[in-house]
Amino acid sequence: MTTSPTVHDTLPDDHFVRALHDDVRAGLTADPKVLPPKWFYDERGSELFTRVTRLPEYYLTRAERQILRAHAPDIAAQTRARTLVELGSGSSEKTRTLLDALTAGGTLRRYAPVDVSRTELAAAAAALTDAYPGLEVTATVADFDRELPLPEGPEPRLVAFLGSTIGNFDPADRAAFLGRLAAALTPNDAVLIGADLVKSPATLVRAYDDAQGVTAEFNKNLLRVLNRELGADFDPGAFDHLAVWNENAERVEMYLRARFGHTVRLPALDLSVAFAQGETLRTELSAKFRRPRLSTDLNRAGLTPTHWWTDPQNRFTLLLARP
């Protein structure tokens, strides 16, 4: 017999509709144009992202999994967590390695994933409830780039923020996020962050501009989301996918670039947006880190890194930090 997982949904019903409307109006009337990456992930977008994680060029997921497999027992021993909170859990695939280690360590009681996608959360929570009998699973739908309702649970809690999602913030938003995270922790809690490391620009750009064009499709899926949700008439074929290494900011930036001048209509916003030939719309930032910068950011938020693990090729890092 299995107990069904609880899904907490504290957001008002129209939260995501309003947030999308606000983001798109602000972003498409700004100069230069920009949209936040979180709107990539409708059902098709999540599928495309899963395909991205399997591409030969996209080393991030494999590198992080390698580190988790090698060091999950250390992480379990260091934290002795009774609650694993996971921010941006998505399909919770990699999490199983952590859950296995914490279960083997005998401390784990509760798994509390937090994600923007209610459907992904419900599916992942149900699958994990079946796979880990006796584990309490309480899922929370949240938009944690605005607020951070950190789930409760028996302490110590380990808050995992994996997959290089921290790279999606610009420096100011990253500082705000880390500050909110630190403020929500008690002294016994710990955070586990997965971050991608600075490496050769060619390797980095290839990871975001693969030979098969899966990332290009993932990028253009944003336009399909706007077409469906806002009745817009974007032609994905009118844009080129672009991935650029920004050396100063040490981040990969993804853009959609208009192939010719044209105007797009967004009836739900009562808005028309003109694109000049060659004009770009920035769709994502993926910051890449060096240890000192990450340490400084964490320290400023009141967090102290205590352990750093990397894969044998030094491509990616998992770090443990404490308040």
The residues binding ligand AVJ (CB under 6 A) are 52, 60, 163-165, 167-168, 208, 215, 218, 284, 286
Single-letter residue type at 175 = A
Q: Which helix (H) or strand (E) holds 236?
A: none
Give 74 or 240: the residue with its C-beta nearer to ligand AVJ: 240
Q: How many helices (H) and strands (E) does the chain have?
A: 9, 14
Give 182 or 243: the residue with its C-beta nearer to ligand AVJ: 243
Tokens of 201: 């620009």
The nearest distance, CB 80 to ligand AVJ, in angstroms, is 28
Give 52 or 178: the residue with its C-beta nearer to ligand AVJ: 52
Give 140 or 164: the residue with its C-beta nearer to ligand AVJ: 164
Instruction: Return the bridge partners of 87, or none.
Output: 114
**Which residue, 104, 48, 65, is CA-closest to 81?**
104
The nearest distance, CB 58 to ligand AVJ, in angstroms, is 6
CA 283, chain centre distance (Å) = 14
The nearest distance, CB 228 to ligand AVJ, in angstroms, is 20
User: Which residue's entry shows tokens 């006796």?
Assistant: 134
Q: Counting beta carbons within 10 angstroms of the beta carbon of residue 296, is it exposed (0 to 12), middle (13 to 18) or buried (19 or more)?
A: exposed
Give 95 or 286: the residue with its C-beta nearer to ligand AVJ: 286
Give 189 or 284: the residue with its C-beta nearer to ligand AVJ: 284
Give 56 or 267: the residue with its C-beta nearer to ligand AVJ: 56
Q: Which helix (H) or strand (E) holds 282?
A: strand 280-287
Number of C-alpha atoms within 13 angstroms, CB side, residue 68?
Answer: 24
- Rounded to an integer, what distance in angstroms lies between the CA atom of residue 189 and that of residue 81? 8
The nearest distance, CB 196 to ligand AVJ, in angstroms, is 7
The nearest distance, CB 285 to ligand AVJ, in angstroms, is 8
The nearest distance, CB 257 to ligand AVJ, in angstroms, is 16
The nearest distance, CB 83 to ligand AVJ, in angstroms, is 24
Give 100 or 217: the residue with its C-beta nearer to ligand AVJ: 217
Give 97 or 164: the residue with its C-beta nearer to ligand AVJ: 164
The nearest distance, CB 28 to ligand AVJ, in angstroms, is 20
The nearest distance, CB 316 to ligand AVJ, in angstroms, is 11
DSSP 123-159: HHHHHHHHHSTT-EEEEEE--TTT---PPP-SSSEEE
- Rounded to an integer, what distance in angstroms lies between the CA atom of residue 323 and that of residue 248? 30
Residues 6 or more apart in contact with residue 174 via CB below 8 angstroms: 166, 287, 297
- Rounded to an integer, what distance in angstroms lies between the CA atom of residue 241 and that of residue 144? 28
Closest residue to bound ligand AVJ by CB: 286
